[in-house]
Amino acid sequence: MGFQILHFASVTSTQEIARGIMRENIVIVADEQRKSYGRRKSTWYSPPGGLWMSIILRTPLWDILTLAASVAIVKALKQIGINAGIKWPNDIFYKGKKLGGIIAEKADELVILGIGINLKNDIPEEIRHIAINLPDVERDALLPIILERLDEVLSLSKEKILEEWKRYDITLGRRVCIMDVEKICGIAKDVDENGALVIEREGEEIHVYTGDLIFVE
């Protein structure tokens, strides 16, 4: 695909910088983000040491882009010896804790794919029970591997991407609750062709497209 990387020391968010550029295959990388965010504008702590980036893409896979990106990230991590998993819809998990997150925002004919992965950055005390980092992994070593894997994954069919996603998934088969407009609890059975999570609740299948997922043990 051929990506061009633009590096910044400190930004409000790489997503914001990307919206001011809007040229496909540009990658915005920052040492730190002062006002970064995840889905639904939730705060994402982005101090120096982590991998914080946004990629401007033109792709027909908009509806499953976060799933495709999660596959690419997990494959890249596996390449350097880190066996991570994917929690629907957009979290990278390692040793039972959140290692990274993904956001995709449509902008006209392009999509801005935001990726945050905890590496050498500190994890605030108050979230250490749910978040983890990789202090021995260098950002500039991991970044090109992720871009290579992303290029490969985005060349696959939607069916193949979903098949790959299920290979690394840690969600399906578990009892979960989705917090959205309403609380939906049941067994995570599958993901459909549009990336929605299929939840079985009292014999009914519910397709959920977004929401905060928690595991119910």
Which residue ranges make up each domain of the chain? Answer: 4-168, 175-215
Say what the pLDDT of residue 35 is.
81
Q: Is the pTM of this model over 0.85?
A: yes
The gap between the terminal CA atoms of the chain, to the nearest Å, is 42
Q: Which of 53, 48, 57 is nearest to 73 (CA)?
A: 53
Residues of the chain with confidence (pLDDT) below 50: none
| Spacing of C-alpha 65 from chain mean position | 9
Total residues belonging to the chain: 217
175-215 topology per CATH: SH3 type barrels. (2.30.30)
Give the residue carrying structure tokens 């928690």: 214
21/28 Cα distance (integer angstroms): 10
Say what the pLDDT of residue 39 is.
55
Supply the CATH classification number for the domain 4-168: 3.30.930.10
Give the residue carrying structure tokens 């490969």: 152
Are 179 and 212 in contact, with CB atoms under 8 Å apart? yes
Longest dimension (CA), the chain: 52
Q: Which of 44, 150, 30 is nearest to 101 (CA)?
A: 44
